[in-house]
Structure 1
């Protein structure tokens, strides 16, 4: 049996080469993504950065702690409080103490139109806690002295340079008296301790050179302070969770890519094996006539598939092991993974990829060999190319079941929780179920779709259109095999890119509807507060209604078991109505005051007038009355409170409306004048909304390109192999056409037209799947109160279909040219 299988592979290598290449690529990609995925699980713990050399750091507790019937629940605070001023003196008896302060300290670029160098300021005495060491110059000693980090981006600064540094206290010219090597996690500016205290009076953290136990004993159990030492010093770093978030993002991207790779590879290999078996029905009929049993036929087909699968999986595993470092390198260069991300040494992803590939080949063969075993001896006498019984009862049952699941799950989600359909896991995995269902029922749909697409060509002069129509309808298996990979690619491309674009358009629509201000003012650097000097100037602009707001957070205990935090904005209720039009579903925004809160429909308590207990950004507890409820939307409709309940947050956005009778140009000029030298960005409403309408961010776009590239690669392989098989198997048909008087160009045009028609069938079926998915997203948005249209990525679809058509035409023409070299009389008289 093994020797027979090996001979079969050698004689029919064209039949197996496409499956082999597709499986090699699939297994290689699974192995590469698996190795990178394993690196996210085994990534080394990141050590402390800001205070790596500090013995003990004391800071305000950054966790909210709430006692519940099931235990104490914790959640991170949006804005932990400062260290009490007298604490340093209290702990001085235990050892030397150093006060740390952090504040914006941007180096202003002297060239107009150039971005400033965003940096963070610290007192010099805390530099040793990192540790920073002087590379050149000396420590700052006078108010105008600064020491700067080098080697981490920004302008190249040297000792002796004069720079202008902008801090919350204003911008001043300063002298660089020393430099320290950057440590990669921040670009810093160090001032004298007195200057830092003047600019930022609050103490952010306290470095104590003493024993941690002694410090804890001195503070007591209810001090509200957090005593950090060892690895826990990491918690005092700026944004200590950024590496964990980055790994979660990498994990999600690689997991999605691996899942789609496995799905596409399985679908392509199954389709190719199925068509290969259908092409060999006369061969199997001859074997049955010669006395072969159905079991022997099945074992032969299975042995061939296993041999191909094992060889392809082994080659793909080697390819993946070599490609994984390249994948990780490209991901770090594109910003999809942190710069320190690197491969580990686990081998389980390679084993998993190998056995996944072998299993895919075996599973595809099991379905195909069952059909091969049912081949009757009379198949050897068949001359007609018309496919019959392409949909057995088992396939009908599987297709109906999968389609019911693919349509039923979204319907249930629309009824229960429409917002769940907008998550990445949902809109990435949902199309796969419908794709499988559509692929299973494709033999039934190919004939009517093919006739629809060829209706007009069949009515044009000449026989080509008629032949294309009839051959497409007669050769259902061949048309289905060509259409299947196109269906997969078109459905994935349109569903993924269309869903992301639709969600972005929905967010942009929400922003356009909610923001009615003429101007929106934000900090030049993300995450910074607006400069106090600008706030003072802008409040005095004539003819302008100014609404300042703060970004904060509130936390609520749901069902006495879980702390749930929500983003919030602290606004002046009297001015909010002038600059915003929020999607209120119940209550009135005018009811917002210091004793009230505006929530959205995602909250458990949404009845106007009810009171809810919340914890503000600084951890303080409040009982607030619900004044109004907003529609959920895409998730950006957050919570609104008053500045008194902002938890100490600073102003980070100002909406400006030109008052009735005011001069818009004068207001714009006054805003530009007030913003000069403060690092503030003043934008018109249209300018501020423009970024929201440009589509997904670069990371999302890069991830989508990576995932779709996998599908396109597998599609190209399957498409080329299937058409080579199909055209090579039609040598006798092409010879008969030549004997009937067709010229070589006419035969080639027919072959190309049939290939393009099959691609068109796949594109139509894929488009139907994509349309259903986009309709589900659109319905979910409508139920969430968002009125925006679905975005269809016509340009991408056009490129995908055009590329598939070109590839199909080339893959059909090359074997046809080879077949036409033989004299038609010799080929027509042969029995293949």
Structure 2
């Protein structure tokens, strides 16, 4: 038997080369994704940046800590506050007795020709980074600034959202921010609230003062948090005073999720295609198995021979795939860094488990795919095997029916359960990325049942055209069901994934845009510094622009005619402890009840917007308590605990229907949006001009309702979007290679069949046209099956949106699917015609008696 195995490998090398290529590429994908995933698990400790040279940093309360006791033991739940608290004035006064106190302020700056992420600070804080002047001098007047980097030189005049300033000095950039420094007095005007300060004193004395003021306790170096949340930061703990100190960890968390999703999908695609390729490779050899059975080989000997061949090919291909993965993983990491998806320091680490996972997965898939397909060949008798060698009379094996049926039933049952119990779960990224795999596997297993009627349907019109070509294409595809299903499998998986993933994100984005459009009845929306604002009220106020001041709000109200409704609102958050264990943050917008009721159309399930007051809140149906009149304990954006009555309840929607409170319950949140609804007969052009003039000094922007909807239409998170494109790109590339590989295998195995056509009188061009027609038809069949899977998945999402009271059309990415089908068609035609053409040129298909 070992000798037979080696001779089979030598004589049927095209088949085994195809299996080798498919498996090695699949293992390479799994190894590369595993290495990237393993390397994205831990971020190195980040040191302090803006305050690397500061002796002590005192930071106000910026987190909410709530004790819980779910199992009798006291535990705490924490969340970052939407409106952090400043250091109390009484404590600041005591700290001034210890040494110099410098109040820190940070605020967004928009400057002509300046970086988009420009941030402002008081000049007195520059020494704590430390920044050092490399040209010019420090600012002394309100219109003088110092900038970091080389984008402006001393003497340059810049127009900013707060007026024209003159650059009087520059400092070298330190890499973590683009800064503009004002005088301390001007910085205090631009950002009145100071949330942290630097104290030039002994850390022990600062901590003693903190404890003595009753603000907290703690000892030692690092970070001490007082009872009121005031922190004393020294050493490496000063990094917590930097903007977004956990950005590397957060970036790696997002990267880990992206690589995990991509790895799961890539692993599914590779395992799916490899198993299909190996099964097809074994199914091609039924005539050979029949001859061996006639010669006396037992079923066990045939299975051992196939297992030996799969073992040899599997070991060599898996080892090759691991080597390819080790070369591909660093390129994947470099791409992630280049696209801004990973920190600049991100590289592939020294990990071994991804190689083991990839190698043994590849080998297991090769053995399972080959053995499953050889089981039938071993069980059939010699005569029956020879009779079935040319035509697929029973393409469905004993394992396909129950497995495919169970997977199809599981897909249907889980969809129905999700729609009945938690339709919102179907809108989550993990759900709409993973659900298609179950349905793809089910349809692929049941494909032999669907291939024959689909092939006859696709070839119905060509079969009625003059000539026998269309009829031969139809009959060949219908007779070779296994071959057709194997070739269609890569097309099926790619079209289904592309249609499901891109269609889901587009449909969900369209639903959110529909919600935004229906939630407002305003004619104009005004936002500060040209920012479109927070569409849902779920944003982080700490990361927003300063907002409109009282002077600008008065100008806006004075710029509109009598009878016009003007609703000023701000974004923030509220926190609620659900079931006594989960501290949930919900985006909240602070609104004036009367004007807001006139400029909005909230999707209410119960209650009225006009019932909102300082003692109440509007929630949505996702809240554990959502009955009108019921009271709910919440923590406001600054951490203040309050019991509020539920005034109204909104439908769940896509998850962006946050809570609503009054301005008194979000006193520190700046106004970042003004909605204007015109009275009947008002001059729209005149009002728009007046609004623009009112915000000209502060740099605000006036949107019409439709332009605001377009500007704020929710887009898929960039990391998620790039992850989806990476998944689809890998799937398309792998599909292309596997499709070409399978077509070469299939065409090489049909040389004798094509020779019969030549003997029957077909010319060389007729044979090639027949081969090309069959390739196109198989791609169309795979595309139809993939479109069926994608359509079923999108219908499930559409049903979930309907149950959540959001009616929006399903978006199918027809251009993308068409492009994928065209690419697959070109690859399939080339990969099938090329070996047939080579056989023609080599004389393998020449008619007897005709000399060249």
TM above 0.5, yes or no, is yes
Whole-angstrom distance in 2 between the partners of 1:547 and 1:116: 32
Change (3 A) 1:692 1:537: closer
166, 176, 180: which one aligns with 1:185: 176
Where 1:563 maps in the other structure, the secondary structure is strand
Partner of 2:792: 772
Change (3 A) 1:605 1:745: same
159, 168, 192: which one aligns with 2:154: 159
Q: Show CA shifts across 1:475-524 (max 9, x none).
A: 11111111111111111111111111110111111111112211112232
1:574: how far off?
A: 0.6
Q: Show CA shifts across 1:528-571 (max 9, x none).
A: 13342532321211224221110010001111112111001111
Is the deviation greater in 398-407 or in 461-470? Answer: 461-470
Partner of 2:68: 68
Partner of 2:469: 464
1:619: how far off?
A: 0.7
Where 2:624 maps in the other structure, the secondary structure is coil
Partner of 1:723: 743
1:2: how far off?
A: 4.5
Contact conserved, 2:149 with 2:173, CA < 8 A, in 1?
A: yes
Where 2:89 maps in the other structure, the secondary structure is coil
1:150 aligns with 2:170: no
Q: Show CA shifts across 1:284-328 (max 9, x none).
A: 122222232222221221122222222222222222222222212
Is the deviation greater in 196-205 or in 41-50? Answer: 196-205
Query: Which stretches in structure 2 are left out of the alignment for 5+ residues?
Result: 217-226, 534-543
Partner of 2:22: 22
Alignment of 1:582-597 (within 5 A): 582-597=602-617
Contact conserved, 1:521 with 1:683, CA < 8 A, in 2?
A: yes
Change (3 A) 1:783 1:15: same
Where 2:675 maps in the other structure, the secondary structure is strand
1:408: how far off?
A: 1.1
Contact conserved, 1:734 with 1:820, CA < 8 A, in 2?
A: no
Q: Show CA shifts across 1:190-227 (max 9, x none).
A: 22333333443433212123343432221122454112
Contact conserved, 1:286 with 1:379, CA < 8 A, in 2?
A: no
Partner of 2:768: 748
Alignment of 1:293-692 (within 5 A): 293-378=298-383, 381-382=386-387, 385-523=390-528, 524-525=530-531, 527-532=544-549, 533-543=551-561, 544-691=564-711
Change (3 A) 1:104 1:236: same
1:138: how far off?
A: 2.8
Where 1:282 maps in the other structure, the secondary structure is helix
Whole-angstrom distance in 1 between the partners of 2:430 and 2:17: 34
Q: Show CA shifts across 1:159-188 (max 9, x none).
A: 23333444xxx42x4332322122233222
97, 100, 109: which one aligns with 2:104: 100
Whole-angstrom distance in 1 between the partners of 2:47 and 2:18: 48
Contact conserved, 1:146 with 1:176, CA < 8 A, in 2?
A: yes
Change (3 A) 1:162 1:219: same
Q: Show CA shifts across 1:63-83 (max 9, x none).
A: 112233342322211111112
Partner of 2:205: 214
Whole-angstrom distance in 2 between the partners of 1:813 and 1:224: 73
Whole-angstrom distance in 2 between the partners of 1:370 and 1:776: 37
Change (3 A) 1:371 1:701: same
1:275 aligns with 2:280: yes
Whole-angstrom distance in 2 between the partners of 1:759 and 1:118: 48
Change (3 A) 1:292 1:356: same
Partner of 1:39: 39
1:384: how far off?
A: 6.1
Is the deviation greater in 65-74 or in 693-702? Answer: 693-702
1:39: how far off?
A: 1.8
1:30: how far off?
A: 2.1
Partner of 1:84: 88
Q: Show CA shifts across 1:240-281 (max 9, x none).
A: 333332212111111111111111111111111111111111
Q: Show CA shifts across 1:339-368 (max 9, x none).
A: 343332323323332233223222322323
Contact conserved, 2:492 with 2:783, CA < 8 A, in 1?
A: yes
Contact conserved, 1:619 with 1:647, CA < 8 A, in 2?
A: no
Contact conserved, 1:88 with 1:99, CA < 8 A, in 2?
A: no
Is the deviation greater in 487-496 or in 243-252? Answer: 243-252
Q: Show CA shifts across 1:671-714 (max 9, x none).
A: 22223242222211111112455964654443222111111122
Whole-angstrom distance in 2 between the partners of 1:87 and 1:694: 43
Query: Which stretches in structure 1 are left out of the alignment for 5+ residues?
Result: 110-114
Whole-angstrom distance in 2 between the partners of 1:6 and 1:577: 81
Contact conserved, 1:260 with 1:707, CA < 8 A, in 2?
A: yes
Task: Give the aligned length.
Answer: 816
Contact conserved, 1:163 with 1:174, CA < 8 A, in 2?
A: yes
1:252 aligns with 2:261: no
Contact conserved, 1:83 with 1:202, CA < 8 A, in 2?
A: no
Whole-angstrom distance in 1 between the partners of 2:301 and 2:233: 71
1:702 aligns with 2:719: no
Whole-angstrom distance in 2 between the partners of 1:761 and 1:539: 63
Change (3 A) 1:198 1:258: closer
Whole-angstrom distance in 1 between the partners of 2:631 and 2:388: 81
Contact conserved, 1:18 with 1:717, CA < 8 A, in 2?
A: no
Whole-angstrom distance in 2 between the partners of 1:535 and 1:671: 10
Contact conserved, 2:758 with 2:845, CA < 8 A, in 1?
A: no
1:202 aligns with 2:193: yes
Where 2:394 maps in the other structure, the secondary structure is coil
Is the deviation greater in 205-214 or in 757-766? Answer: 205-214
Change (3 A) 1:105 1:87: farther
Whole-angstrom distance in 1 between the partners of 2:440 and 2:117: 48
CA RMSD of aligned residues (A): 2.2
Where 2:147 maps in the other structure, the secondary structure is strand
Whole-angstrom distance in 2 between the partners of 1:694 and 1:317: 40
Partner of 1:112: none
Contact conserved, 1:752 with 1:813, CA < 8 A, in 2?
A: yes
Contact conserved, 1:547 with 1:571, CA < 8 A, in 2?
A: yes
Contact conserved, 2:273 with 2:738, CA < 8 A, in 1?
A: yes
Contact conserved, 1:124 with 1:193, CA < 8 A, in 2?
A: yes
Whole-angstrom distance in 2 between the partners of 1:28 and 1:796: 26
Whole-angstrom distance in 2 between the partners of 1:367 and 1:692: 53
Contact conserved, 1:266 with 1:364, CA < 8 A, in 2?
A: no
Whole-angstrom distance in 2 between the partners of 1:622 and 1:671: 37
Whole-angstrom distance in 1 between the partners of 2:622 and 2:344: 37
Where 2:343 maps in the other structure, the secondary structure is coil
1:823: how far off?
A: 5.6
Is the deviation greater in 421-430 or in 188-197? Answer: 188-197
1:662: how far off?
A: 1.2
Change (3 A) 1:188 1:384: closer
Contact conserved, 2:523 with 2:677, CA < 8 A, in 1?
A: yes
Q: TM-score, normalised by structure 1?
A: 0.94
